[in-house]
């Protein structure tokens, strides 16, 4: 088994004075780092305490980001090691739960579709097209 890669807290950088809350900035950075492959499945994230100390942040802010990404299945908690990048993106959570995560976004889209008086078939066709564009 390959040795685990651990990342230092300097992985993150945040900016104050932004309309975007700091916990969101941390989440977005992690998503990007994982998407770009700079963080690989099984990599160990710096501890909440390390990040809080290095970036001078309230530890609750850091744990909020980690917990939200764990709920999403992007991170995985491992006893005695800490937070890891999940090995099987998306497969970590059952489909029902992943659908539940998507529901609020779709509910908003549905509301806007009704306000724009788009008929359901047209809205669904558009969504299908967008889904396929990303492949």
Q: Which two tokens stand for residue 119?
A: 């008929």
CB closer to another protein out of 22 and 86:
22
Residues near 49 by beta carbon (within 8 Å), at least 6 away in sequence: 59
Our finding on whether 55 is near another protein (CB under 8 A) is: yes
Rounded Cα gap, residues 110 and 127, in angstroms = 11
Our finding on whether 53 is near another protein (CB under 8 A) is: yes
Q: Positive or negative, the Cα torsion across 118, 120, 125, 127?
A: positive
Our finding on whether 102 is near another protein (CB under 8 A) is: no
Q: Which of 108, 119, 125, 128 binds another protein (CB under 8 A)?
A: 108
Our finding on whether 64 is near another protein (CB under 8 A) is: yes
CB closer to another protein out of 19 and 80:
19
Contacts 24+ apart (CB under 8 A), 76-83: 81/4, 81/44, 82/44, 82/45, 82/47, 83/44, 83/45, 83/47
Q: Which of 9, 11, 12, 22 binds another protein (CB under 8 A)?
A: 22
Our finding on whether 96 is near another protein (CB under 8 A) is: no
Residues near 99 by beta carbon (within 8 Å), at least 6 away in sequence: none
Our finding on whether 112 is near another protein (CB under 8 A) is: yes
Contacting residues toward another protein, per CB under 8 A: 16-24, 49, 52-53, 55-61, 64, 108, 111-112, 115-116
């Amino acid at each position: 088994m390959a040795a685990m890669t651990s990342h230092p807290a300097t992985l993150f950088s945040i900016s104050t004075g932004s309309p975007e809350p700091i916990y969101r900035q941390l989440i977005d950075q992690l998503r990007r780092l994982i998407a770009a492959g700079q963080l690989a499945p099984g990599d160990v994230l710096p501890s909440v305490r390390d990040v809080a100390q290095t970036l001078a942040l309230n530890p609750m802010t850091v744990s909020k980001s980690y917990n939200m990404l764990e709920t999403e299945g992007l991170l995985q908690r491992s006893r005695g090691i800490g937070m890891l990048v999940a090995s099987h993106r998306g497969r970590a959570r059952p489909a029902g739960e992943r659908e539940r995560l998507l529901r609020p976004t779709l509910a908003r889209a549905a509301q806007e579709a009704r306000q724009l008086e788009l008929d359901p078939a047209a809205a669904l066709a558009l969504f299908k097209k967008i889904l396929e564009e990303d492949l």
